[in-house]
Every structure is written in structure tokens, then in C-alpha cells.
């Protein structure tokens, strides 16, 4: 290490360095305080070339942009009263100490499922505290926590943590009591203990319990062991537990229905506590993949979140816009247009909010005084392009090669591209970059997948006695898509391989 890099503190290894250095550090701060802060600011103003001044000077469009972000949890959820009340009517049992029925919630993305579930869970927990009834809600997003092991481990650790807090509080109480008794300040009369010995026994038991509460590691244990850890942790004391499994379809898709099977039969074995499951799914048909027993237990109650229509989306946007934007920043058409676009997109409130935020950002960037209709249209294009870029970027390599073949054909002016043509170019590209060559049948499947993702459009046309073929065209912008493909290191060299395609058309 260069001596200049050595930190000023050259006693770093001394045991008492921290203590000795502490005052010195304070002195440094004091010195900097002696400098006149206004001088510094003045200097900096003079130094700047006004890069940010123009941007700051323009009347900002936003009052509070955070309110339009997906991470923001609204306090009010217009047009979801019915669903929220349905949930509450079922979950209120938990506050009476009974086990609520399991609930399955369905609805497409952006229909307010997560926001409503979180709202209800907050209310449930605060009411349970108000009335001092033992009821707890655990929320798990199964898109992130997507295996049985992880779901059980996460649940186990949450309950272990809660139990530890309860035990530590209780131990503090008992220790205080013990001191008070030994000092003669109080007696054990109004306590469950008939002697100091029995109090000590209790303290010892709790301390052992605390020692034995070992957190579950995020990998490595056999699943049975994780399951029993969770089981013991929940059953440690009396309570009703509501487990919210959001994006439950992702869990089932990735890891089957074992988790749900195990969770749904726990109640018959628990002694002190009860579990109720609330599953939330974006996929209306996901129960088709479930074991019939799991299906009937999980779906005791079902609540559907229908898509929002354009009017409802307007209300939702208006509520947020009032807080998010400066007064008068939105022209009259902006909210209706965002609502209309999002209504076409299966009534997705997330999309509506994204559009409104992006339109505001574009207006701000263009230093416009107000957000206008054209900003919303630009925002729609931008969001659509971002989606395409993301989908293309995350395609498997083979699909990327197939897509690249289609792009090359389009760029060379081939219309009504058929599968055979794609396959020929695809094969050449694979050879150029040393990739495995799949069969034409598999490539046809990959084309169908690209069609489903909305990247290409493939229609089957009849060629009379020549049979049927697919006519393929690109549904996304050529230049941008090509750029995304070429940014993949495995496809990067493909650019050099393009001339042969040209040669093929010159013939």
C-alpha cells in the first residue's frame, strides 16, 4: 500500500484506539465548523456553470412524485370497498380467537390485490393490539420467496424472532419481580408462583427455550426440520396467525403445491395456535394445478378483483394526482387519456399510475409548464418500449438467435417471412457463434413463444395444396430490439456474421 493511502490513524491495531481517537475526531469537526459556511456556498455558486440552475428554476410539475410510485401504499383505495369488506368479514374471526376460513384472491395484475391485502393486514394487526387479542399477520411475496424451503424458513424465522421478544420481555419482568421480592419490596402473593423456587424454575425454562430457538439458515436443512422449526415456533403460544401468500401462483409454478398442502393441514396438529391462509394470485386458473385437497381447503372463500374500467381508473388517478402534482399542472385530457390507455391494458392501475408519472417526467424534462396529452402518448410509447427491451433482454439465447434471424430478414426487405426462411438464417447464425442448432420443430415452438410475448406476430396461412405455413412479422421496433440483442455478449459477434444474409438475397 502506498504510504499516502494509510489512514491518518496509525494506531489502528491498538485495543484502545477508538477511545483515544474519539476526542481528536470531534476536534476535526469543530475546525470545519469554524469555516464560514456561507463563504463555502458562495464559492460553489460562483464555480457552477448553471447546469442545474435552469432545471431548478422552471416551475416544477410535481409536488410529491413519490405518491405515484409503486412502492407507495395509498391510505384510500377507491372502488375496492366491496373486496376489502369481504376480506374483513372473513378475517374478523381472528379477533374473536377463532380460525378464519382460508381465502383465495384472484385478479389480474394491477387490480389492487396487494394494496388491499396490505391495508387489511395493517388494520387487523392494529385492531388486535387495541383489543389485546393475539392475532398476527405475516405477508410473504412468493415471487421473491419461491420455494417451500424459503417460505417455511422465512415464516419460522419471523415467529422465532417474535417469540424471542416475548420471552425476553417476560424474563425482564420476572427478574424485576425477583429482585423486588428478595429486597422485601413485594411478595409473590398476586403471582402464579408460590415460591421463589418456582419463579426460578420458570426463569430457567424460559432461558432454555430461548437458547433452543435457533434461527433456520436460508439453505442446508432438510425440509422436515425447517417445517418442524416453523411448527414449534408458531405453536409456542396461543394466537391466530394469518399467512398472506402474495403471488402464490408463482410459488406453485416454481415448486408445486407441497407448501400449501403442508400449511393447510397444520391446524389439525397445532395445540395452541391456529393458522389461516390467504393466497393471492394473478393467474385465474392456477388452482387447476393443485391437488384437489389443497384446492378445496385453500379456496374455502374466494374473492375476485375485477379489472378497473376507465372511470374507476380516473378516480384512482385523480386521488393520487391531487397530492402528486402542483395545482394546475395537469391539463384536462391527461387523466382521462391515462385511464383510457390503462383500461385497454386489462384495467391495470399500476400501468395507469406509471403512465401519469412518466408523462409528468417527460413534461418536466421538456421544461413544459403543464402536462399535456402528447406527453401521455410519449409516455405510452416509452413504457411499451421499456417492456419490450426487458422482455427481449431476458430471453434465452436460442430465442434471441431466432429473433435475430427474423430481424435480419425484415431488414433485408423480406415480407411474409415463413418458418423455413427463419430456420435457414437461424442455422447459419448458430454456426457463426458456435451455438447448438435446434430442430426446425423446436424453432417453430420458439417462434410461437415470441408470438405469445408480443414480440412477433405469427399467423398461420393456408397455402392450398402446399399445406399450411406461418407468416411471421416483427411487432417491435427493429433498431431498438436489435441493439438489445447485440448487447448480449454471446450474440455480440453476430454483427460480423451478417454479410452472408445479404449475400443470400443478392443471389
Least distance from Mg ion to the Cβ atom of residue 115, Å: 8
Chain residue at closest Cβ approach to ligand ADP:
112
**Cβ neighbours of residue 308 under 8 Å, at least 6 residues apart?**
79, 111, 112, 316, 342, 343, 347, 348, 349, 352
- Closest Cα to residue 124, out of 148, 162, 89? 89
Stretch that binds Mg ion, among 108-116, 233-241, 395-403, 499-507 (CB under 5 A): 108-116
Least distance from ligand ADP to the Cβ atom of residue 262, Å: 25
Picked from ligand ADP, Mg ion, none, the partner binding residue 110 (CB below 5 to 8 A depending on kind) is ligand ADP
Judged by CB, which is closer to ligand ADP: 280, or 491? 280
CA dihedral 141, 147, 152, 158 (to 10 degrees): -40
Whole-number Å distance between alpha carbons of 190 and 192: 7
Strand partners, 472: 417, 458
Judged by CB, which is closer to ligand ADP: 231, or 308? 308
Judged by CB, which is closer to ligand ADP: 9, or 82? 82
**Cβ neighbours of residue 498 under 8 Å, at least 6 residues apart?**
408
Query: What phi and psi values does residue 293 have, to the nearest 5 degrees?
Result: -65, -40
Q: Is 216 exposed, middle or buried (0-12, 13-18, 19+ CB in 10 A)?
A: buried
Judged by CB, which is closer to Mg ion: 114, or 148? 114
By CB under 6 A, name the binding residues for ligand ADP.
Answer: 70, 74, 77-80, 107, 109-115, 316, 349-350, 353
Judged by CB, which is closer to ligand ADP: 275, or 352? 352
Least distance from Mg ion to the Cβ atom of residue 368, Å: 33
Picked from ligand ADP, Mg ion, none, the partner binding residue 350 (CB below 5 to 8 A depending on kind) is ligand ADP
Judged by CB, which is closer to Mg ion: 86, or 163? 86
Whole-number Å distance between alpha carbons of 346 and 251: 23
Least distance from Mg ion to the Cβ atom of residue 285, Å: 17
Picked from ligand ADP, Mg ion, none, the partner binding residue 422 (CB below 5 to 8 A depending on kind) is none
Least distance from ligand ADP to the Cβ atom of residue 136, Å: 22
Helix ranges restricted to H, 131-218: 148-182, 196-212
Site for Mg ion in 276-315 (CB under 5 A): none
CA distances from 189 to 10, 192, 194, 393 (A): 61, 8, 8, 71
Least distance from ligand ADP to the Cβ atom of residue 361, Å: 16
Judged by CB, which is closer to ligand ADP: 120, or 167? 120
Least distance from ligand ADP to the Cβ atom of residue 303, Å: 12
Picked from Mg ion, ligand ADP, none, the partner binding residue 177 (CB below 5 to 8 A depending on kind) is none
> In angstroms, what is the C-alpha Rg of the chain?
31
Least distance from Mg ion to the Cβ atom of residue 350, Å: 9
Judged by CB, which is closer to Mg ion: 245, or 491? 245
Using alpha carbons only, give the angle 276, 164, 229 rounded to the nearest 5 degrees.
55
Per-residue binding string, Mg ion, 111-150, x by CB under 5 A, is ---x------------------------------------
CB 474 within 8 A of CB 407: yes
What is the separation of C-alpha 82 from the centre of its chain, rounded to a whole number of angstroms? 25
For Mg ion (CB under 5 A), the number of binding residues is: 1
Picked from Mg ion, ligand ADP, none, the partner binding residue 353 (CB below 5 to 8 A depending on kind) is ligand ADP
CB 109 within 8 A of CB 350: yes
Report the interface residues with Mg ion, using CB under 5 A. 114
Amino acid at each position: 500500500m502506498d504510504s499516502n493511502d494509510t489512514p491518518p490513524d496509525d494506531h489502528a491495531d491498538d485495543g484502545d484506539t477508538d477511545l483515544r481517537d474519539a476526542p481528536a475526531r470531534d476536534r476535526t469537526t469543530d475546525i470545519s465548523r469554524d469555516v464560514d459556511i456561507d463563504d463555502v456556498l458562495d464559492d460553489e455558486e460562483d464555480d457552477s456553470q448553471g447546469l442545474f440552475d435552469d432545471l431548478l428554476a422552471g416551475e416544477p410539475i410535481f409536488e410529491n412524485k413519490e405518491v405515484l410510485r409503486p412502492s407507495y401504499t395509498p391510505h384510500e383505495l377507491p372502488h375496492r370497498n366491496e373486496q376489502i369488506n369481504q376480506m374483513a368479514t372473513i378475517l374478523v374471526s381472528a379477533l374473536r380467537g377463532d380460525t378464519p376460513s382460508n381465502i383465495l384472491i384472484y385478479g389480474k395484475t394491477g387490480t389492487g390485490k396487494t394494496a388491499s391485502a396490505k391495508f387489511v393486514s395493517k388494520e387487523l394487526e392494529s385492531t388486535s393490539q387495541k383489543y389485546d387479542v393475539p392475532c398476527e399477520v405475516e405477508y410473504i411475496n412468493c415471487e421473491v420467496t419461491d420455494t417451500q424451503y424459503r417460505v417455511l424458513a422465512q415464516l419460522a424465522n419471523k415467529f422465532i424472532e417474535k417469540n424471542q421478544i416475548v420471552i425476553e420481555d417476560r424474563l425482564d419482568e420476572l427478574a424485576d419481580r425477583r429482585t423486588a421480592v428478595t429486597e422485601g419490596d413485594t411478595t409473590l402473593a398476586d403471582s402464579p408462583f408460590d415460591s421463589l423456587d418456582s419463579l426460578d424454575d420458570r426463569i430457567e425454562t424460559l432461558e432454555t427455550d430461548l437458547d433452543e430457538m435457533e434461527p433456520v439458515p436460508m439453505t442446508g436443512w432438510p425440509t422436515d426440520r425447517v417445517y418442524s422449526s416453523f411448527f414449534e415456533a408458531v405453536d409456542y403460544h396461543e394466537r391466530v396467525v394469518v399467512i398472506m401468500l402474495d403471488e402464490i401462483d408463482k410459488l406453485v409454478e416454481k415448486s408445486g403445491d407441497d407448501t400449501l398442502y403442508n400449511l393447510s393441514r397444520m391446524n389439525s396438529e397445532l395445540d395452541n395456535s391456529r393458522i389461516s391462509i390467504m393466497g393471492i394470485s394473478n393467474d385465474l386458473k392456477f388452482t387447476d394445478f393443485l391437488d384437489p385437497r389443497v384446492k378445496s381447503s385453500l379456496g374455502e372463500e374466494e374473492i375476485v378483483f375485477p379489472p378497473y374500467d376507465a372511470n374507476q381508473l380516473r378516480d384512482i388517478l385523480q386521488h393520487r394526482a391531487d397530492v402528486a402534482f402542483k395545482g394546475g399542472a395537469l391539463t384536462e385530457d391527461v387523466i382521462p387519456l391515462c385511464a383510457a390507455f390503462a383500461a385497454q391494458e386489462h384495467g391495470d392501475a399500476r400501468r395507469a399510475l406509471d403512465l401519469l408519472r412518466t408523462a409528468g417526467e417527460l413534461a418536466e424534462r421538456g421544461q413544459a409548464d403543464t402536462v399535456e396529452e402528447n406527453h401521455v402518448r410519449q409516455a405510452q410509447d416509452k413504457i411499451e418500449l421499456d417492456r419490450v427491451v426487458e422482455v427481449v433482454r431476458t430471453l434465452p439465447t436460442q430465442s434471441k438467435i431466432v429473433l435475430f434471424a427474423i430481424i435480419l430478414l425484415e431488414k433485408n426487405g423480406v415480407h411474409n417471412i415463413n418458418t423455413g426462411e427463419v430456420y435457414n438464417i437461424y442455422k447459419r447464425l448458430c454456426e457463426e457463434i458456435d451455438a447448438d442448432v435446434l430442430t426446425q420443430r423446436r424453432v417453430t415452438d420458439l417462434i410461437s413463444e415470441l408470438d405469445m410475448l408480443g414480440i412477433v406476430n405469427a399467423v398461420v396461412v393456408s397455402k392450398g395444396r402446399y399445406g399450411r405455413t406461418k407468416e411471421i412479422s416483427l411487432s417491435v421496433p427493429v433498431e431498438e430490439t436489435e441493439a438489445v440483442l447485440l448487447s448480449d455478449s454471446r450474440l455480440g459477434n453476430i454483427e460480423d456474421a451478417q454479410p452472408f444474409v445479404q449475400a443470400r438475397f443478392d443471389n
